[in-house]
C-alpha cells in the first residue's frame, strides 16, 4: 500500500462544522510539542486552477461546474498537494488536507474523495469533524465569506452528515486508512484539536 514519507491526514466535515478553527488550534498545539504540521485545502488548489482557466471567479462556483470538469480539477489538485508537500515536509512532519467527503451539487451529491483522489493523497487516516446541527447552522449564517444559504436547513445538514460518514469510510477502503469522528462543540475547538493530535501521536 502506497504511503507518503510524511504522515498524512484528511480532515472532512460539512460546511460550517468548524474545521478551520479546529485545525488552527491543532497547528498551535502541535507546534508547542515540536510537531510540524502543514495544512492545505483541496478546494483552494481546485479554485486556483479553475480561476486560471477562467472557469470560476468565486470559490463556491466550483460545485456548479460540470461533474467531469470537477473530477479533473480534483485529481489535479491532489497531485499538486503531494508534489508541494514532498518538497516542504520530512518524515517527521504531518500533512493535513482540509476538504469535504461529500459535495452537494446541482446534479446531486458526488464524492469529494473519489478513488483517483484518495489514492493520490494516500492518507493514513481520515478525520470526520462533526458538531450539533444547531451549531452548524449558526456558524453557516455567521460566515459572510461563503454563499451557504442553500445549506442552512436541518434536513440538508442531517443528510450531509450521514453521507459524509458513508463517503469517508468508502474512500478509506481504497487506501486502508483509519476513520475517526471528532466532535467540535461550540466554544471548545481546542478539545477537538487535542483529540486529533492524539491520533497523530499514535500514528507516527
Distance, in Å, from the CA atom of 51 to the CA atom of 71, rounded to the nearest integer, reads 15
How many CA within 13 A on the CB side of residue 199? 25
Residue 151: its pLDDT value, please? 58
| Cα–Cα–Cα angle for 42, 43, 45, rounded to 5 degrees | 70
Q: 115-156, pLDDT tens digit by residue?
A: 999 999 999 999 999 999 999 988 777 765 655 555 568 898
Q: Is 32 exposed, middle or buried (0-12, 13-18, 19+ CB in 10 A)?
A: exposed
Distance, in Å, from the CA atom of 70 to the CA atom of 86, rounded to the nearest integer, reads 24
Distance, in Å, from the CA atom of 139 to the CA atom of 129, rounded to the nearest integer, reads 14
Over range 101-110, report the average pLDDT: 86
Residue 81 reports pLDDT greater than 90: yes
Q: Please give the share of the chain, as a percent, with pLDDT higher than 90.
A: 74
- Other Cβ atoms less than 10 A from the Cβ of 117: the count is 24
Q: Which residue bears the cell 444559504?
A: 149
First to last CA, the chain: 17
Q: Which residues of 5-21 are buried (b: 16+ CB within 10 A; e: fewer)?
A: ebbbbbbbbbbbbbbeb
Q: 14-68, pLDDT tens digit by residue?
A: 988 999 999 999 999 999 999 999 999 999 999 998 998 899 988 888 878 888 8
Alpha helices in 55-185 (DSSP H): 67-88, 115-121, 133-142, 154-175
Residue 146: its pLDDT value, please? 53
Residue 160: its pLDDT value, please? 93
Residue ranges covered by each domain of the chain: 7-203
Residue 100 reports pLDDT greater than 90: yes
Residue 137: its pLDDT value, please? 87
Q: Please give the share of the chain, as a percent, with pLDDT higher than 70.
A: 95
Residue 145: its pLDDT value, please? 61
CATH, domain 7-203, list 3.40.1110.10, 3.40.50.300, 3.20.20.10, 3.30.470.20: 3.40.50.300
State the chain's mean pLDDT as an integer. 92
pTM score over 0.85: yes
Residue 192 reports pLDDT greater than 80: yes
Residue 143: its pLDDT value, please? 67
Contact by Cβ (8 Å): 105, 64:
yes
Amino acid at each position: 500500500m502506497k504511503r507518503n514519507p510524511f504522515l498524512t491526514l484528511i480532515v472532512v466535515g460539512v460546511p460550517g462544522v468548524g474545521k478551520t478553527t479546529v485545525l488552527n488550534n491543532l497547528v498551535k498545539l502541535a507546534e508547542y510539542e515540536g510537531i510540524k504540521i502543514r495544512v492545505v485545502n483541496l478546494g483552494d488548489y481546485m479554485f486556483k486552477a479553475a480561476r486560471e482557466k477562467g472557469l470560476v471567479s468565486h470559490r463556491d462556483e466550483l460545485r456548479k461546474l460540470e461533474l467531469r470538469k470537477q473530477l479533473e480539477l480534483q485529481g489535479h489538485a491532489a497531485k499538486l498537494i503531494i508534489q508541494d508537500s514532498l518538497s516542504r515536509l520530512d518524515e517527521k512532519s504531518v500533512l493535513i488536507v482540509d476538504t469535504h467527503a461529500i459535495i452537494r451539487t446541482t446534479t446531486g451529491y458526488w464524492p469529494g474523495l473519489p478513488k483517483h483522489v484518495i489514492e493520490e493523497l494516500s492518507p493514513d487516516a481520515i478525520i470526520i469533524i462533526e458538531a450539533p446541527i444547531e451549531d452548524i447552522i449558526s456558524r453557516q449564517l455567521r460566515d459572510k465569506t461563503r454563499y451557504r444559504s442553500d445549506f442552512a436547513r436541518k434536513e440538508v445538514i442531517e443528510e450531509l452528515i450521514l453521507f459524509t460518514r458513508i463517503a469517508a469510510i468508502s474512500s478509506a477502503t481504497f487506501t486502508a486508512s483509519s476513520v475517526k469522528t471528532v466532535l467540535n462543540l461550540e466554544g471548545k475547538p481546542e478539545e477537538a484539536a487535542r483529540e486529533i493530535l492524539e491520533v497523530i501521536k499514535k500514528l507516527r
